[in-house]
Amino acid sequence: MPDGWNAAPGTGDVALTSTGPDRMSVRVTIARTDLGPGGAFLRYATDLGTANPGAKVTVTAAQFCGYSSQLLSGTNGGAGANEFADRITHIWTNTEAYLVAVHLEGPGKAPGFEAAKSTVMQQFAVIIP
């Protein structure tokens, strides 16, 4: 997490929430999925678009320790639009598959957003429950 951010454990699929300055926030989810990487990523992007009508999203492939991963970034449109960035990774085990998502959001042009994005979109360690 970026320096000075507060983190708290989540419940259910939400593993962690964190708040930072200027109304920026991070949410980490670990959700079981029956989909392969492409299907899980498509569903996540579709759900993101449904929750944020008018969102403009850029998607970039990003390998992650041999797992399929993507970086999403964009704005949810309109005046005073929020910026967001997501790192989604499809992690398989011998018995199940999971979609891990790190979602950063903050007011458009918030000071420190790019620095926070650089920190939270890096590779990360995951402990699958």
CATH 3.40.1000.10 fits 6-120, yes or no: yes
Residues 6+ apart with CB under 8 A from 90: 33, 36, 37, 40, 41, 67, 68, 69, 97, 98, 99
How far is CA 109 from its chain centroid? 18
Reported as a pLDDT band with limits 50, 70 and 90, residue 127 is low
Residue 58 in tokens: 């850029």
Q: What is the pTM of this model?
A: 0.89
Q: What is the pLDDT of residues 58-95, one digit of tens each?
A: 888 887 777 888 999 988 876 668 899 999 999 988 89
Each domain of the chain, given as residue ranges in start order, spans 6-120
Residues pairing with 29 in the sheet? 14, 101
As a whole number, mean pLDDT of residues 49-65 equals: 83
Of the candidates 100, 95, 25, the one whose C-alpha atom is nearest the C-alpha of residue 67 is 100
